[in-house]
Amino acid sequence: MRIEVTRKRIKNMYLRVGEDGTVKVSAPLMASDREIRALVESRADWIEKAIKRAKNRAENLPEYLDDPRLKKAAQKELRKRLEERVPLMEQRTGLRCSGWNIRDVKSYWGKCDTRTNRITFNLRLVNRTDEELDYVIVHELCHTVYGDHSGNFWSLVKRFMPDYERIRKGMK
């Protein structure tokens, strides 16, 4: 396991696993190597699972996204689906976004800018079912009310999509 440590002007230590499976630790400037090692050891189970997920994602990335013509076709297809599904989910929930766009990203399915209520959708949603796409849309629309993942947020998601947990689990 490869570990990269970056010391920064921060108060707490943060741990993440990169797309290549590298364990990345951000630590305060004064954190000792022993403290960093203790963090990594205490999160060993989580790290192992995260590395497996990263490898699985890397193996399942659609190759067509490397070809500009095919990528453009995927964007067109997803845009068509979103043009149909976003208004449908807005009508179903009574929630509105100010607009949306599509980006090819690796770290999220969707993101809502809570200042503008603009939603960004991941291009890789093109490979997902309508049910999964609807979940991401509802999830992001709920962020127009709650900008966090509090209990209130998840209650709102559940109100509009009672089986969201099953769908969410299948997307991981």
Confidence of residue 61 (pLDDT cuts 50, 70, 90): low
* % of the chain beyond a pLDDT of 90: 76
Question: Distance (Å, rounded) from C-alpha 151 to C-alpha 135?
Answer: 17
Cβ–Cβ < 8 Å for 133, 114: no
- CA-nearest of 59, 165, 77, 53 to 125 is 77
Distance CA 153, CA 54 (A): 27
Q: How many CB atoms lie within 10 A of CB 130?
A: 11
Per-residue pLDDT tens over the stretch 125-154: 998 999 999 999 999 999 999 999 999 999
Mean per-residue pLDDT, 56-82: 80
Cα 55 to chain centroid distance, Å, stands at: 16
Is CATH 3.30.2010.10 what the domain over 64-171 is classified as, yes or no?
A: yes
Model pTM score: 0.69
User: Does residue 59 surpass a pLDDT of 70?
Assistant: no
Domain layout of the chain by residue ranges: 3-59, 64-171
Rg for the chain (alpha carbons), in Å? 19
